[in-house]
Structure 1
Amino acid sequence: MKLLKPALLASAMALPLTGVALAETPDSMLVVAQNIDDIVAIDPAQAYEFTSGELVTNLYDRLVQYDAEDTTVLAPGLASEWTADAEAKTITFTLRDGATFASGNPVTAEDVTYSLGRVIKLNLTPAFILAQLGWTAENVDDMVTADGDTVTVRYEGDFSPAFVLNVLASRPASIVDSVLVMEHEEDGDMGNAWLNANSAGSGPFSLDSYTPGQMVRLAANEDYFNGAPEMQQVIIRHVAEAATQQLLLEQGDIDMARNLTPDQIASLSSDEIKVETFPQAAVHFLSFNQKTESLTDPAVWEAARYLVDYTGMTDTIINGQMEVHQAFWPKGFPGSYDETPFTYDPEKAKQILEDAGIETPIQVTLDVINAAPFTDMAQSLQASFADAGIDFEILPGTGAQVITKYRERTHQAMLLYWGPDFMDPHSNAKAFAYNSDNSDENYQATTTWRNAWAVPDEINEETMAALSESDPETRLEMYRDLQQKVQENSPIVIMFQASYQVAMDADVTGYVNGATSDFVYYRLVDKE
């Protein structure tokens, strides 16, 4: 207990104080403890981390969006209606009346064209999502045009309108207040530096303050077109230690703990605390960088699939948080491939390595986020892989450090997770089954490129063919086939699909945690 007192004191001092220290949180304020050290950027044109996605969703709107009231339905956002012309490859959106930004500025068609063009022109990490539509810095002003209260979006490629709408419902398609952003432009950055410390959205909340690695404070947008949030403020405290999160929750100093371990969840016994479980789209994987020579033999990839103690982990350290899933598109989503052919079999793995003439031991560094449950999972992998002579040296780091290293392709092995960028199977197929240019200069925000895996031509071709397939069921079957091929032979070992457990005060209602980080909503939260 003494070891935790400094962390508890620091967390308590940073929270708003009432008349008594460590008092119950105010009725109009939601206080959340969460590990938020993965945040690299919060500008929606740059934000690409999981926690960043949560913030963008609560600060900004898109033309169409999956909303808190039903995260499975693509609903009107800043557009009240739209008309698609598949033959002309256009979608025309009519903006809703009366929508305003948190600044008080009205949302206009010019804000939409500016925002979508800004993503393409800045060309930061998530720009590829919109660039799929054939948009470039040179043509985007012609591809997205305004006329009064309407916006016409043009696209290139053999896409169905449904695919285009899903792209426009993604994070980088968030609409920013162009007037406010341009006031803070510096050296042609289109307000990027300012938007990484501030917000300029029309969403249910605005950013009151942000201190990287410490705290996020959101303030309710009283004029939100879907109705003002019940909570006047949402405070997200960076608390990396799960044990500290549990103590703060049990003492009433926070309303919600986002990162408790299964053991801690099981140990909660107070009637004042409840646990809610949310299925997640994220898949967890172990990958091998193909720049490391000892990891390039397909026999190593195959053996690795039999060296993961799948059930051992799901029965213990990740019980309730993950289930075995061995394909890149999440179970429960249309087009998923749900076969799980691999089990822990070290003798088989050793035979595979021996038959291929692989000399062991193999020394490999394994990068991992220094937080639960990742460090526990890394230790399990370290123990089980050692049975076949693959020795992991675990390198823990913050989320930002690990992700940055991954993007630079300087790791050897990586324990990480991946969620769809938008709700279409092509999102994960492009990440796990496509890499047509493996050169260092061709940066791609995909796990194939980041692991330097030169995907075989036939898989690249099938991935693009599935994208343009017009028959819905044929298209889904193509994605199932791609998943099976990647499952059988790639340097990416997909192991689990996440289930997310959140412990919260029993009085908290209305919290929505959908299948991805883009579907985390505080708008409907109330404290009865």
Structure 2
Amino acid sequence: MNGGNRGARGALAAVGLAAAVALTITGCSSAKPSPTEAGAAGGSLVVGVTSDPDTLFPWKATQFQAVNVLQNLYGTLTEFDADLNVVPGLAESWEASEDGLTVTFTLREGVTFADGSTFGSEDVKFSLEAIAAEATAAVARTSLASVAGIETPDEQTVVLTLSAPDAALPANLAVINMAMLSSDDTEAELNTTPNGTGPFVLEDRKASQSLTLAKNDAYWGDAAKLDTVEFRVIPDESSIVSAMQSGNVQLAVFDDPLVAQTAESGTVSVEKTPQLSYHALQLNARRGDLADVNVRLAIQCAVDRQEVLDTAALGEGEVTGPITSPAYRSDPDARPCPERDLDKAAKYLDKAGKSDGVTIKTIVSQGEYATSVNEAQNLKAQLAEANITLELEVLESGAFVDRWIAADFDAAVALNGGRPDPDGMYGRYFTSTGNLNQVAGYSSPELDALFAEGKQSSDPDERKDIYAQISENLEDNAAWIWLFTSYSYTAASSEVQGFTPMANGSLQYLRTTTVN
């Protein structure tokens, strides 16, 4: 399957949903080529990765490696194409009522799960209701907050009744945390035997060593060109480069620019892709000294973001504010301290009654992305000059994710995924009812009202203004310390063709990849 053969776009009414698709289209100004079709079908690809997926259950996946695998095993009602436009997925079309309060999805016929069972409207109803149920602990639960009812008049039709128009719904339905599951499956079963509608199926898994996918011959779209894709676990990026140079690995995505430079050779090419994901020092505003906004503002003023970027990522990226979506991008200078200001930091600490300094326990992931420890060490050194001590606890990626999901931290050095629509990006974090609000550690009535307005508005300019206010609120209260966006570096050996890197980090175009 490729981005050019996805069928007609879903028909959307003017209220609510049309705005979401229109903004998604205008939201990516740097166009990418369509996935290449060159190369014969068949063959096997080995992808080098630094960590094993920590879950195979799509509704709870937050680790980047798990997401990358699951995107190739499961399907969603809508999808993103190479330019992050919303296009049909398991729903071949959708239409909203004039008032935006009813959305009708028409499902594709002939779609089956990996176990051979038929996909239909009852599976959509089951999946959406389960994702929305608090007991499931799905990480995308908040994205369905507007859904008041689900009806299935026939096997190919699903009707959603909304409590208010929801401009973000099409884009929110496209993420893998919204995967459609069989109503017969359970989380325990799927964590060992995935059963999706995607272009690949799970063939084999050796814990902490490798995970192998095989082509799904019954896939509803264009069949994957590769026979198998093996994700081979190699603990550090430099070792992956060595494996590529020896011919044992054909594809890898790096986040360390120095490693990417060493990878490029006569037989390995490297493509640099700007990412929507963002690096941040997350602060839990409900714990200890961080409950005082003045302590958080002191941290904000004591950080030189460009220095963090230069030190950890060789300057390969851009200093960022909260929202990285191109159509809504935050102004990184619109914050109380756009530049490092130690005098202001000292004044904020004094205002908090903490002129003698504070100590912040901070968790750091090692293994999920390459720059984390360098970022943490640079932040520690900078903040020490402001009498703020970061007490670092470095964890392997699985342990970090467990602590992060449980909000068991004062601060966290984090790389979080961005999305084309800012509601899906932050609504689940910074609203009082957001399912990840415990992790975010901050919400307010003002933010609740603004996020509600952003979802309901159908006017592009009005939505931009609303999310600019949200960004300003987050920065003025130093909810987190947003640092920078960076690049992904896709290294591919010369025999690999047809893979298209994406700004959201997705590996979905493994389905169009070939190995000569």
TM-score for the superposition, normalised by structure 2: 0.84
Name which of structure 1's ranges 363-372 and 347-356 shifts more when overlaid on structure 2.
347-356
| In structure 2, distance between residues paired with 1:369 and 1:118 | 30
Structure 1 SS opposite 2:168 = helix
| In structure 2, distance between residues paired with 1:452 and 1:258 | 31
Letter in 2 for 1:105: S
Structure 2 SS opposite 1:223 = coil
Name which of structure 1's ranges 368-377 and 113-122 shifts more when overlaid on structure 2.
113-122
| In structure 2, distance between residues paired with 1:110 and 1:58 | 22
Aligned to 2:331: 338
Structure 2: segments with no counterpart, 5+ residues: 1-40
Aligned to 1:416: 414
Q: Does 2:424 match 1:397?
A: no
State the 1:177 CA deviation.
3.9
State the 1:129 CA deviation.
3.9
State the 1:518 CA deviation.
4.8
Residues 73-126 of structure 1: per-residue CA shift (max 9 Å, x gap): 222222223332143722222233333333333333333333333434562222
Name which of structure 1's ranges 111-120 and 401-410 shifts more when overlaid on structure 2.
111-120
Q: How does 1:39-78 map to 2 (within 5 A)?
A: 39-67=53-81, 70-78=82-90
Aligned to 1:14: none
Aligned to 1:155: 161
Letter in 1 for 2:137: L
After superposition, the Cα gap between the structure-2 partners of 1:113 and 1:99, relative to the gap in structure 1 and judged at 3 Å, is same
Larger RCO: Structure 1 or Structure 2 (Cα < 8 Å, ≥ 6 residues apart)?
2
Residues 327-365 of structure 1: per-residue CA shift (max 9 Å, x gap): x21152x22222335223334423443455423332222
Q: Does 2:420 match 1:427?
A: no
| In structure 2, distance between residues paired with 1:500 and 1:405 | 26
Q: Does 2:357 match 1:368?
A: no
Q: Is the 8 A contact 1:282 1:419 kept in 2?
A: yes
Q: How does 1:236-385 map to 2 (within 5 A)?
A: 236-259=231-254, 261-319=256-314, 321-326=316-321, 328-332=322-326, 334-341=327-334, 342-354=338-350, 356-371=352-367, 372-385=370-383
**Correspondent of 1:510 among 492, 498, 510:** 498
Q: Does 2:489 match 1:501?
A: yes
Q: Does 2:167 match 1:174?
A: no
Q: Is the 8 A contact 1:61 1:78 kept in 2?
A: yes
After superposition, the Cα gap between the structure-2 partners of 1:299 and 1:130, relative to the gap in structure 1 and judged at 3 Å, is closer
| In structure 1, distance between residues paired with 2:100 and 2:242 | 58
| In structure 2, distance between residues paired with 1:319 and 1:27 | 39
Q: Is the 8 A contact 2:346 2:355 kept in 1?
A: no
Structure 1: segments with no counterpart, 5+ residues: 1-25, 183-189, 437-443
| C-alpha RMSD of the superposition | 2.6
State the 1:408 CA deviation.
2.1
State the 1:29 CA deviation.
1.1
| In structure 2, distance between residues paired with 1:260 and 1:482 | 29
Q: Does 2:232 match 1:234?
A: no
**Correspondent of 1:449 among 438, 441, 445:** 438
| In structure 1, distance between residues paired with 2:69 and 2:512 | 15
After superposition, the Cα gap between the structure-2 partners of 1:433 and 1:45, relative to the gap in structure 1 and judged at 3 Å, is closer
Q: Does 2:193 match 1:198?
A: yes
State the 1:233 CA deviation.
0.7
| In structure 1, distance between residues paired with 2:62 and 2:142 | 11
Q: Does 2:146 match 1:133?
A: yes
Aligned to 2:214: 219
Structure 2 SS opposite 1:502 = strand
State the 1:385 CA deviation.
0.7
Q: Does 2:49 match 1:34?
A: yes
| In structure 1, distance between residues paired with 2:74 and 2:429 | 29
State the 1:130 CA deviation.
5.0
Percent identity of equivalent pairs: 24
Q: Does 2:170 match 1:165?
A: yes
| In structure 2, distance between residues paired with 1:452 and 1:72 | 29
Q: Is the 8 A contact 1:53 1:517 kept in 2?
A: no
Letter in 2 for 1:169: A
Residues 503-523 of structure 1: per-residue CA shift (max 9 Å, x gap): 221332222332224564311
Residues 206-254 of structure 1: per-residue CA shift (max 9 Å, x gap): 1112344332211111232321212111111222212211211121111
Residues 255-305 of structure 1: per-residue CA shift (max 9 Å, x gap): 123335222222335211111112211121112223432222222222212
After superposition, the Cα gap between the structure-2 partners of 1:144 and 1:59, relative to the gap in structure 1 and judged at 3 Å, is farther
- Shift >6 Å, 4+ stretches: none
State the 1:431 CA deviation.
4.1
| In structure 2, distance between residues paired with 1:95 and 1:450 | 35
| In structure 1, distance between residues paired with 2:217 and 2:182 | 17
Q: Is the 8 A contact 1:145 1:153 kept in 2?
A: yes
Q: Does 2:479 match 1:484?
A: no
TM-score for the superposition, normalised by structure 1: 0.82
Letter in 2 for 1:52: A
State the 1:36 CA deviation.
2.8
Structure 1 SS opposite 2:115 = coil
